[in-house]
Structure 1
Amino acid sequence: MLGLLAFMFIQYRTIKWKLKNIGLKSHNFISVLITEKMKFKTTVYLLLIFQLLVFGCNNKPDNQNSADNLDAMKKDTVAIQSLSSNVVDQGAVSPFKEVDSIIQLLNKKFVVADLRKLDGICSRSDGDLSEYLDAVAVDLLNDHLDGFLEYLQRNPESCLKRRLSNGLAGNCSVYEKSERPRKLKEEQDRLVSIAKIKKLDVGKIKFLNEIFNKVDPNLLD
């Protein structure tokens, strides 16, 4: 209680000091007075409630306090376990993690069935996931040039084909607008050169050139 009285005295002196500084003729005088009084009353009420709660709890028998503490600990433990469970469940169904898992499988062994799963996720994607798949499609082209081109040839309506076009355009967007066509052509020539070294058939190289020729380097402007 002494602490409360001391606080009230300090707050009273603070209010007087503020009012003295702004001056009685200031147009802010009434506003400051009302605001400070409301702050003062609110703080006193909160302190009174706090003290009542603290002393009220302390008046309980020791065994009652122990029982209350034990119940509180049990509730906290259950809440933490529930929260952890929810985090795990959400992570398990995260489309981003699902995409990453499929990419890991493809990097170990390129299987068309896994690529179809990725295409299915792509067709249901939007927002951040779509942008993520733009980069994934470009990585697939670089890491699995032959297999990915063949899949896109066989599936002309593939969602991954659209994501690839967007991803190539996105890579150009980091350059000045005047430089983008040249950067896109350099990337095209690089991959065509790799395709020739790997002895991909003429049809795939032609298809690769068609993909690049349809890319708008200013798409993301």
Structure 2
Amino acid sequence: MKNLKYIIHLLFIFQLLVFGCDTKSKNQNIEDSLDTIKNESTQVPSSNTNVMDQSTLPPYKNIDSLVRLLDENFAFSDVKKLDSICFGSDGDLTEYLGSITISLLDGHLNNFLKYLQINSNSCLKVRLIEGLGAKYSVYEKTERSEKLLQEENRLISIAKEQKLGDRKIEFIRELFNKVNPNVLD
């Protein structure tokens, strides 16, 4: 009988230790979760929480960093990195690259054209053509061709001012001949 009381007592202590520790760890987990929720809820979002900030996503962040580098010092190695990101892009990233290539064309006409001429299979070239098409698709159908021609002439004028040569001017014409401003219809 004494042994039975002793065994029951040991079982009780064992259960107390096992379930007591388990309850303590569950309570600690609940407290940790509540602290996390509390900390996250005190952070005030800077913009609409339903809209993802694309610049904080890795590919967008990489693209933005490369564009900043290119703005500081245009290097083909950085454009190559952009091109490699471009080859793996789809959806929103593709559209984003379209607008980036238009900016590169505007800001670095000579060097960007040179890169595209050397790298004829560049993904950025395709994104530039698509980006220009999308940019001018917002106009009325009757205005699109005229607006596109104005942009082509503007870039050719800049190329002439910068004395970029006939090959680059012809390349601008070739690019714009491939642009379809009705692409989004």
State the alpha-carbon separation in 1 of the partners of residues 61 and 29 from structure 2: 38
State the alpha-carbon separation in 2 of the partners of residues 111 and 219 from structure 1: 31
- Letter of the 2:145 partner, please give it: P
C-alpha distance 97-200 of structure 1, shift in aligned 2 (>3 A): same
Residue 162 of structure 1: aligned partner: 126
State the alpha-carbon separation in 2 of the partners of residues 123 and 154 from structure 1: 17
Counterpart of 2:102 (choices 134, 138, 161) is: 138
* TM-score, with length taken from structure 1: 0.61
Residue 72 of structure 1: aligned partner: 30
State the alpha-carbon separation in 2 of the partners of residues 68 and 201 from structure 1: 74
* Larger RCO (CA within 8 A; separation ≥ 6): 2
Give the drift of 1:68. Answer: 8.5
Give the drift of 1:78. Answer: 5.7
Q: Which runs of 4+ in 1 moved over 4 A?
A: 67-71, 78-82
Q: Deviations over 1:35-86 (max 9, x none)?
A: xxxxxxxxxxxxxxxxxxxxxxxxxxxxxxxx9976633343467889xxxx
Residue 6 of structure 2: aligned partner: none
Counterpart of 1:124 (choices 77, 88, 93) is: 88
> When the two structures are aligned, how many residues end up with a matched partner?
148
Residue 10 of structure 2: aligned partner: none
C-alpha distance 175-76 of structure 1, shift in aligned 2 (>3 A): same
C-alpha distance 73-114 of structure 1, shift in aligned 2 (>3 A): same
State the alpha-carbon separation in 1 of the partners of residues 78 and 31 from structure 2: 46
C-alpha distance 124-72 of structure 1, shift in aligned 2 (>3 A): same
Residue 157 of structure 2: aligned partner: 193
Partner SS for 2:32: helix
Cα RMSD of the aligned pairs, angstroms, is 2.6
Gaps of 5+ in 1: 1-66, 83-90
* TM-score, with length taken from structure 2: 0.73
State the alpha-carbon separation in 2 of the partners of residues 185 and 78 from structure 1: 56
Residue 206 of structure 1: aligned partner: 170
Gaps of 5+ in 2: 1-24, 41-54
State the alpha-carbon separation in 1 of the partners of residues 181 and 145 from structure 2: 6
State the alpha-carbon separation in 1 of the partners of residues 142 and 150 from structure 2: 14
State the alpha-carbon separation in 2 of the partners of residues 93 and 177 from structure 1: 35
C-alpha distance 74-130 of structure 1, shift in aligned 2 (>3 A): same
Give the drift of 1:93. Answer: 6.0
Partner SS for 2:68: helix
Give the drift of 1:219. Answer: 1.3
